Amino acid sequence: MLITVSVVFVSLFASSVINVLYFRKNYTAALITGSFGLAHSLNSVVSEMLALGLPLDSFSGMDQRCRDLVEQNQYIVYCCVADLQGRALYHSDPQLIGHIFDDPVMRRSIAATGPVTQMYQRHDGYRYYDMSLPIFDLKRQHLGVIRIGFRADVVQDKVLTAILHVVATFAVSFIAIAVLLNYFLSRAISRPVAELSRKAEKIAAGDYSVEVQVSGNDEIAALSDTFNKMSRTVQQHLDAVRRSEQRFRALIETTSDFVWELDHRFVYTYASPKVKELLGYEPEEVIGKTMFDLMPPAEAEKMAGTYAALTALQQPFAGLENQALHKSGKVVLLETSGVPIRDADGSLLGYRGIDRDITERKRAEELRRAKEIAETANRAKSAFLANMSHEIRTPLNAILGFSQLLANDRSLTGRQREQIETVNRSGEYLLELINDILEISKIEAGRMVLNISDFDLAAMIGDLESMFRLKAQAKRLTLTTELDHMLPRFIRGDEGKLRQIYLNLLGNAVKFTAKGSVSLRVSGRDAGGKLRLVSEVSDTGIGIAPEESGRLFKYFEQTSSGIRSGGGSGLGLAISNQYALMMGGGITVESEPGKGSRFRFEIDVAPGDEKGVERPKQEKVIGIRSGGEHTRILIVDDRAENRDLLKQMLRQVGFETEEADNGITALEAFVRWRPDLVLMDMWMPVLDGYQATARIRELEDGAKTPIIAVTASALDDERQKVLATGVDGFLGKPFRESELFQVIGSVLQIEFAYGEEAALDPDAGNNACALDPEAIAALPADLVSELQRAVARADLDEVLELLDRVESLDKSCAATLRSMARGYRYEALLEALQS
């Protein structure tokens, strides 16, 4: 700093001296030049005067001009115009006008023919710069001289003033520079360094939050910046270490594992608080013990060898299962993992690791394995059921289909028709049984779903009453149904499952009641803003022994009375109960042997909308009304009877058909025959329906040709799988005619012509007259009475057998009555017989 100041001082001083000298020279020159300028100006006036032909001394006011010149130029002291004798013709000092100057300076001025600058020691004692300029007339005749003078000390004064200014400026500049330099140096170096020092002391004291203010971009700023970075880095590292410590402490304290450290002799040097939870010991109790001290003796002996081997390897280990003794004496299964602790030389100091209680996990694993086994078995059962269902439904498709077709055959005798219908009913029963089994399978697999829709509850109750009234009357039972008038007529729920529960309960009630009554009471109650449908089926039947009531809702189990009745599969109540449970309730039973039973259940429903109620068509498709003329349908099925069945069903209403027995032949037929619709069996040899569908979709027109999957699989996931192939419809085997035409109509947008089922019977056209009361009256009275009783019992088999006898007497009348019986129109049938 001293050097800097010295250099600045010397530089300023030297430049000041040079400036003063330069100024003095220039200032003097400027004054002299200025004086000559004034003299020339005066000379030009004199010349103008001489040009007018006037003598040099003849100009009035010249004295005033000389005075003006002196007054107007501060540094000029005198101005004189003199003739060649040295006489002052004009002078700024009036006293000297006419004075003759005879000094050397005047003589040199007069003698000179050009400008002269001289130092003049004037009479007043001062030294002057004297500038003289000769005066010539127009003929260059030398007439006189103009002299102008200024005091030499004017220059000195000016120089002195300039020096003072320079010195003052120098002093001020020096002081200012010194102050500024000091300020900036202090600001730039001293203060930051002191600041750095203070902050360093704070950091040394552990306060890393300090930060040095950085300004500028010099070395100090760089040092401060580096210092700050270092401080921040240290702070960040410390924070990271602190966070890491907190994190690991939190982990150690919150983890369910017991964290430990062992020395090389397997003596605990650290134990986390979790040891209390795992082994019942306080950490302090554990520290100092070996890990083998906490093991059962046999385990300790076994693990000592294991750990000795690990120590020899000095490698991390993980998942080492071993037993430990809880403080309570209980054996705890642990999973131990650890890593070696080494010193700077790499020598093993011990181990650090965790013990995890895997007792529960082991138990859960065993349970999971057992569950997996059970689920495997269940899946096998489901697969078996699915296969069995498929295998059973496939032939049933043919049985039911052809029996339906045969039933339409007009050439059949009544007896043959009854036999066919018996085949059909048997098939229907078998199908129902299969469906029940599948229902159970679905329920057990948790795949059963509710099909919620709006339906007419009152109509359902009315249908049920109609269905069971004849049976009840046949057994001389009183059947009553009560429907709470406060309930809405249309409700929203699973109509099918509710109907199934009622059918089962009412069927059982009629079945197991010999005398008395059977009643169905349906009411509603509000449950927290929701509508609960309360149903009770009561009878005065044989009742249920208390010891048997527990078996009521189990699959394939029947009460002793049920077994004695010789009917049923023992699935009905179980399924009904499952249905009720799905709908928000369960079936409860109150029964007393010999007095009767009361079954009760509650389910969640909601008020329904009449618009959403679907009314099933009871008509039979008899032809194509519009949109389907000359429609070509390709039937693909590996079983000939199924193809034959479909072919007959489709052709009888006017469709054209072609057949294929596997996917390959189906593709060939598709290309060749260009069908409008494909009915595709999904399970086929060579190329199954899935692949065949995909290949057809790749063909020209294949993407826009509808394909309806036809499969015997009744499982929902199978259905989803089929639909995922991109088929346009699904038809499960076995199917009814109505289902077939419904799906075809839906896919092809075809409107079918419907007619009464009996209309297919050629004899049915005369039913109106055949059912004339006289025709009935013409029948034998005992036959009519037997028929009446059979109808009253709803014993369809007996009714159909009796109608065979009628047919021999009146064919058309028998056909009409048979049609009514097959349509379960018992009431109408009974009314006709009674008429």
Partner 1 sequence: MRKHRCAVLPLLLLMVLLAALVPRPAGSDPSPRSKQRTLLILDSQKGNPYDEVRRSLLLTLQRYGYHAGENLRVTAHYIGNDVREGERVLREEADKGYHVIFVGGTVATLAAKNVLLGNRSQNVVFASPTDPVGLGVIRDFDSLPAANFTGVCYPVPVKSRLRFVRRLMPQAKVIGLIYAEMPQSVSYNRWLVDLLQKDPEFRGLKVIFRSVPLSRGEYGDDIMAAAARKHVLELDAKVDLFLKPCDQMGTRRSFSETVYKAASKPLIGLVQEDVMGGWGATAAMYPSHDSIGRQAARMVHEIFMGKRSGEIVPEWPKSFGLAFDLQKARRFGIKVPVEMLRLAGRNVVK
Q: Which stretch binds partner 1 (CB under 8 A): 27-35, 53-61, 110-118, 242-250?
A: 53-61
Q: What is the DSSP string of 215-280?
A: -SSSHHHHHHHHHHHHHHHHHHHHHHHHHHHHHHHHHHHHSSSEEEEEETT-BEEEE-THHHHHHS
Q: Out of 41, 113, 213, 314, name the contact with partner 1 by CB under 8 A.
A: 41
Give 124 or 700: the residue with its C-beta nearer to partner 1: 124
Rounded CA-CA distance 103/100 in Å is 9
State yes or no: residue 52 binds partner 1 (CB under 8 A). Answer: yes
State yes or no: residue 53 binds partner 1 (CB under 8 A). Answer: yes
Q: Out of 1, 21, 26, 68, name the contact with partner 1 by CB under 8 A.
A: 68
Give 3 or 138: the residue with its C-beta nearer to partner 1: 138
Are the CB atoms for 96 and 123 separated by under 8 Å? no
Give 51 or 703: the residue with its C-beta nearer to partner 1: 51
Mark residues 502-541: x for contact with partner 1 by CB under 8 A, - for none. Answer: ----------------------------------------
Query: Considering the complex, what minimum distance in angstroms separates the CB of residue 86 from partner 1?
Result: 19
Are the CB atoms for 678 and 706 separated by under 8 Å? yes
Rounded CA-CA distance 736/649 in Å is 10
Rounded CA-CA distance 526/486 in Å is 11
Q: Out of 65, 492, 733, 822, name the contact with partner 1 by CB under 8 A.
A: 65
Q: Which stretch binds partner 1 (CB under 8 A): 64-72, 316-324, 522-530, 814-822?
A: 64-72
Query: Considering the complex, what minimum distance in angstroms separates the CB of residue 68 from partner 1?
Result: 7
Query: Considering the complex, what minimum distance in angstroms separates the CB of residue 141 from partner 1?
Result: 17
State yes or no: residue 48 binds partner 1 (CB under 8 A). Answer: yes
Q: How far is CA 558 from CA 567, 569, 622, in A?
A: 10, 8, 44
Query: Considering the complex, what minimum distance in angstroms separates the CB of residue 122 from partner 1?
Result: 20
Bridge partners, 590 (sequence order): 598
Nearest of 225, 228, 222 to residue 210 by alpha carbon? 228
Give 53 or 114: the residue with its C-beta nearer to partner 1: 53
Alpha-helical segments (H) within 446-494: 457-474
Helix axis angle, 495-511 to 457-474, nearest 10° = 20
Rounded CA-CA distance 151/171 in Å is 30
Give 61 or 627: the residue with its C-beta nearer to partner 1: 61
Nearest of 80, 65, 138 to residue 110 by alpha carbon? 80
Query: Considering the complex, what minimum distance in angstroms separates the CB of residue 89 from partner 1?
Result: 10
Per CB under 8 A, contacts with partner 1 among 542-561 are none
State yes or no: residue 54 binds partner 1 (CB under 8 A). Answer: yes
Query: Considering the complex, what minimum distance in angstroms separates the CB of residue 139 from partner 1?
Result: 14
Q: Which stretch binds partner 1 (CB under 8 A): 32-40, 52-60, 146-154, 232-240?
A: 52-60
Query: Considering the complex, what minimum distance in angstroms separates the CB of residue 32 from partner 1?
Result: 22
Q: Show Cβ contacts of residue 105 under 8 Å, excluding neighbours closer than 6 positions.
A: 118, 120, 130, 132
Query: Considering the complex, what minimum distance in angstroms separates the CB of residue 105 from partner 1?
Result: 25
Q: Out of 7, 11, 26, 61, name the contact with partner 1 by CB under 8 A.
A: 61
Are the CB atoms for 97 and 89 separated by under 8 Å? yes
Per CB under 8 A, contacts with partner 1 among 810-829 are none
Query: Considering the complex, what minimum distance in angstroms separates the CB of residue 142 from partner 1?
Result: 20
Give 57 or 786: the residue with its C-beta nearer to partner 1: 57
Rounded CA-CA distance 176/49 in Å is 59
Give 49 or 687: the residue with its C-beta nearer to partner 1: 49
Are the CB atoms for 199 and 212 separated by under 8 Å? yes
State yes or no: residue 71 binds partner 1 (CB under 8 A). Answer: no
Query: Considering the complex, what minimum distance in angstroms separates the CB of residue 48 from partner 1?
Result: 4
Q: Out of 19, 47, 156, 169, name the contact with partner 1 by CB under 8 A.
A: 47
Give 72 or 451: the residue with its C-beta nearer to partner 1: 72
> Which residue is listed with tokens 């000389």?
66
Q: What is the DSSP letter of 487?
A: S
Give 51 or 222: the residue with its C-beta nearer to partner 1: 51
Query: Considering the complex, what minimum distance in angstroms separates the CB of residue 133 from partner 1?
Result: 15
Q: Out of 14, 51, 222, 238, name the contact with partner 1 by CB under 8 A.
A: 51
Query: Considering the complex, what minimum distance in angstroms separates the CB of residue 46 from partner 1?
Result: 9
Q: Out of 4, 15, 26, 44, name the contact with partner 1 by CB under 8 A.
A: 44
State yes or no: residue 55 binds partner 1 (CB under 8 A). Answer: yes
Per CB under 8 A, contacts with partner 1 among 362-391 are none
Q: Out of 4, 64, 376, 413, name the contact with partner 1 by CB under 8 A.
A: 64
Query: What does the block give as tokens for 388?
Result: 């069995």
Q: How far is CA 698 from CA 480, 685, 689, 704, 797, in A?
A: 61, 21, 14, 10, 52
Give 93 or 656: the residue with its C-beta nearer to partner 1: 93
List phi, psi (to 5°) of 781: -65, -40
Query: What does the block give as tokens for 763?
Result: 């004899």
Q: Which stretch binds partner 1 (CB under 8 A): 49-57, 195-203, 254-262, 331-339?
A: 49-57
3-class DSSP string for 731-779: EECCCCHHHHHHHHHHHHCCEEEEECHHHHCHHHHHHHHHCCHHHHHHC
Based on the number of CB atoms within 10 Å of its own CB, is 756 exposed (0-12), middle (13-18) or buried (19 or more)? middle
Q: Out of 2, 3, 60, 630, name the contact with partner 1 by CB under 8 A.
A: 60
Give 65 or 469: the residue with its C-beta nearer to partner 1: 65
Rounded CA-CA distance 272/242 in Å is 19
Q: Which stretch binds partner 1 (CB under 8 A): 59-67, 210-218, 510-518, 658-666?
A: 59-67
State yes or no: residue 197 binds partner 1 (CB under 8 A). Answer: no
State yes or no: residue 57 binds partner 1 (CB under 8 A). Answer: yes
Q: What is the DSSP string of 647-685?
A: HHHHHTTT-EEEEESSHHHHHHHHHHH--SEEEEESS-S
State yes or no: residue 94 binds partner 1 (CB under 8 A). Answer: no
State yes or no: residue 59 binds partner 1 (CB under 8 A). Answer: yes
Count of residues of this chain found to bind partner 1 when the rule CB under 8 A is applied: 19
Are the CB atoms for 700 and 668 separated by under 8 Å? no
Reduced to 3 states (helix: H, G, I; strand: E, B; else coil), residue 632 is: strand
Q: Which stretch binds partner 1 (CB under 8 A): 39-47, 193-201, 391-399, 818-826?
A: 39-47
State yes or no: residue 49 binds partner 1 (CB under 8 A). Answer: yes
State yes or no: residue 58 binds partner 1 (CB under 8 A). Answer: yes
Query: What does the block give as tokens for 756?
Result: 């009464």
Q: Out of 45, 193, 348, 828, name the contact with partner 1 by CB under 8 A.
A: 45
Nearest of 671, 685, 673, 669 to residue 637 by alpha carbon? 685
Rounded CA-CA distance 135/534 in Å is 150
> Which residue is listed with tokens 């138990």?
363
Binding site for partner 1 (CB under 8 A): 41, 44-45, 47-49, 51-55, 57-61, 64-65, 68
